[in-house]
Amino acid sequence: MSFSAAATGFVALFLSMTVGQVEPDWSVKYDPSQICALTGSTVKIKCSYTYPYKIHGITTKVKTRLWFTKGNNQVPVDLKKDSDYNGRIIYNFTDNSCNLTIKDLNLRDSAEYKFRFVTNQPDGAFTGLPGVILTVTDLRVQVRRSEMQTELKCESSCDPIKPPSYVWFNKEKKMEEQTSSILVSVRDGDRFSCSVKGHEDLRSRPVYAPTFTSANLMTSGQITEGRSVTLSCSSDANPEANYTWRKKNNQSIVSEDQQFVFWSILSSDSGLYYCTAQNQLGEETSGPVSVQVTYGPRPPSVSVTPSGEIMEGSLVTLSCSSDANPEANYTWYKEGEEAPKASGQNFTITNIMFKQRGNYYCEAQNSRGRCNSTVTVNVVLAPRNQVAAAAAVPAVFLILICLFLWILRKTKVWKQQSRPAAGQVPSEQVIPAEDDVAYSVVHFATKQEELVYSNINPTQSKRHKKRKEEEMVEYASVNCGRTRTAARTESAQQDSVEDPAALYSSVNKPGRNIRETPSGL
């Protein structure tokens, strides 16, 4: 009994000794269980595992070993096969070691990492739970600016080293301060960054005032009135900059957005624009971006020098000027003539002739359209021709008297009609008003064939005179042709001015009425 009891006790002891020494339990151990690591660094997770060597006489063989963060125990996603960790995972497995190395850490690597192994035994699979909590952090410099000073603070979501100790840099130069917060005075070109001791190569992104600030036109092609136009400001800055827009020669801020949008641009919006990028460490203003709103020529303003009645033989300059973008070119025409008279803003006629009187129009043209205005050139006789006319009068008289005498002699009324009252017949034609004389003489002097016409038809001559009076009415008519978009943005007022018919009647009708009223009474 005692033997058997002793034997049983021995067997029990033997068995328990065998189990305790030879048959380890299922286990996975991680060291440490929580890790804080910097982005860009490499982390090594120490790991060991155990399992029973034999179960029911069957020798345990490990068939599969892996680390995972995604999936579950039954369907884990092996880190080696996870594209997020492409080439960054090193497994160094032995019978009891399950170390994991992850290179070039990034913030998305933060997770719970678990080791799992599967054996040939029924239900012989094991996952080490809980896993290792890995937190990947970057270092960030927070900037706090007050009136007097700028404070920089090195921040991270966990402490990669304990106790925390910092190393600050300005550009590549190590600074003296070793605390998490430092006070600095900022100069041009400064770039501050921080790191932790022992990891000086893993620095924070530097903080700096805006640089490479530039203003850009985002709208391509011709900028026409009414179009939507976007200006965009870009800049390199950390912390991120805010933006303000100004127009040249005006301190007022026109926009506080990075993108400055004209929803429907006006020609008055043309100009140079600048943007300023600003953050807590400073500001920088861009170069100008030019916005040129194009539009067809506005109704040209036309003028004649000298003004009023122009003596024949004078030097006359017709000037034309029209607001347009791009700048207009100018062509001068005479009304009723196809061929252009001149090109250019100024049309100079040296030694103007009477026959050159009349209406001239100037056409301003650019790529967006064309527009014309008319001006009247009123030429009167030069004094030297009037002198010639005066000299011509006695000669004409002489001829007429001879003719008269000849007629008298022929009709034999010389004695009865000794008084000159008989000169009635040709009086209207032969002794015209001085103006009419001058008129006819001009033609006499310039064109032989017109002499007949003007002399034998005084009523015709009077009609000419009346037309001359009409020509003296100063007016300019305006015609503009534009693209649809340009016309759409014109004000109603301008449209009415542009109506040639409306303008003509408003100038001429009252004049005609005044002339007709007295004859009607």
Ligand X SMILES: *[C@@H]1O[C@H](CO)[C@@H](O)[C@H](O)[C@H]1NC(C)=O
Q: Which residues bind ligand X (CB under 6 A)?
A: 46, 90, 92, 94, 97, 99, 242, 250, 252, 254, 256, 278-280, 317, 319, 329, 331, 343-346, 361, 363, 365-367, 372, 479-481
Q: How far is the CB of 301 from ligand X (least distance, A)?
A: 12
Kind plus residue range of the DSSP H or E element containing 453: helix 448-456
DSSP 268: G
Least distance to ligand X from the beta carbon of 96, Å?
Answer: 9
Residue that has been written with the tokens 């006499």 in this structure = 444
Which residue number, 60 or 317, has a Cβ lying nearer to ligand X? 317
Cβ atoms 53, 101 nearer than 8 A: no
The span from the CA of 450 to the CA of 435, in Å, is 17
CB of 49 to ligand X, least distance (A): 11
Query: What is the Cβ-side half-sphere exposure of residue 351, based on CA atoms within 13 angstroms?
Result: 0
Nearer to ligand X, 41 or 242 (CB): 242
Least distance (Å) between residue 289 CB and ligand X: 16
Q: How far is the CB of 450 from ligand X (least distance, A)?
A: 27
Query: Is the backbone of residue 171 left (phi > 0), alpha (psi -120 to 50) or beta?
Result: left
* CA separation for the pair 175, 183 (Å, rounded): 12
Cα dihedral: 76, 81, 84, 90 (round 10): 100
Closer by beta carbon to ligand X, 348 or else 411:
348
| Alpha-carbon gap, residue 479 to 369, rounded angstroms | 11
At 30, the amino acid letter reads Y
Residue with Cβ nearer ligand X (195 or 279) = 279
The CA-to-CA distance between both ends of the chain, in Å, stands at 167
Among 123, 128, 119, 122, smallest CA distance to 95 is for 119
Residue with smallest beta-carbon separation from ligand X: 479
Give the residue with the Cβ less far from ligand X, 18 or 97.
Answer: 97
Q: Among residues 436 and 498, whose Cβ is nearest to ligand X?
A: 498
Nearer CB in complex with ligand X: 65/462: 65
Q: Measured between alpha carbons, how far is 196 from 159 in angstroms, rounded to an integer?
A: 9
Residue 153 neighbours by CB distance under 10 Å: 15
Minimum CB separation from ligand X for residue 84, in Å? 21
Burial of 21 (0-12, 13-18, 19+ CB in 10 A): exposed
- Total residue length of the chain: 521
CA torsion sign for 69, 75, 78, 81 is: negative
In the bound state with ligand X, the residue whose beta carbon lies nearer, of 479 and 489, is 479
Residues linked to residue 45 through DSSP beta bridges, in sequence order: 100
Q: 229: which 2 tokens? A: 């136009």
Q: Residue 11 CB, nearest distance to ligand X (Å)?
A: 38
Q: Are 89 and 102 in contact (CB under 8 A)?
A: yes
- Residue 68 or 333: which CB sits closer to ligand X? 333
Alpha-carbon gap, residue 182 to 159, rounded angstroms: 18
Shortest Å distance, C-beta 34 to ligand X: 17
Smallest distance from ligand X to CB 389, Å = 33
Q: What is the CA radius of gyration of the chain?
A: 53
Task: Locate 77 and state its tokens.
Answer: 């996603």
Closest distance to ligand X from the beta carbon of 98 (Å)? 8
Q: Is 256 helix (H, G, I), strand (E, B) or coil?
A: coil
Instruction: Between 45 and 139, name the residue whose CB sits nearer to ligand X.
Output: 45
In the numeric block, the tokens 């192994």 are attached to: 117
| Secondary structure letter of residue 79 according to DSSP | G
Nearer Cβ to ligand X (305/418):
305
Nearest approach, Cβ of 443 to ligand X (angstroms)? 28
Q: 474 vs 499, which CB is nearer to ligand X?
A: 499
DSSP letters of 406-440?
HHHHHHT-TTTT-SGGGGHHHHHHHS--HHHHHHH
Shortest Cβ 487–ligand X spacing (Å): 11
Task: In whole angstroms, give the CA distance from residue 166 to residue 197.
Answer: 6
Which residue has tokens 């998490």? Answer: 180
* Residue 317 CB, nearest approach to ligand X (Å): 6
Based on CB atoms, which residue is closest to ligand X, 292 or 319?
A: 319
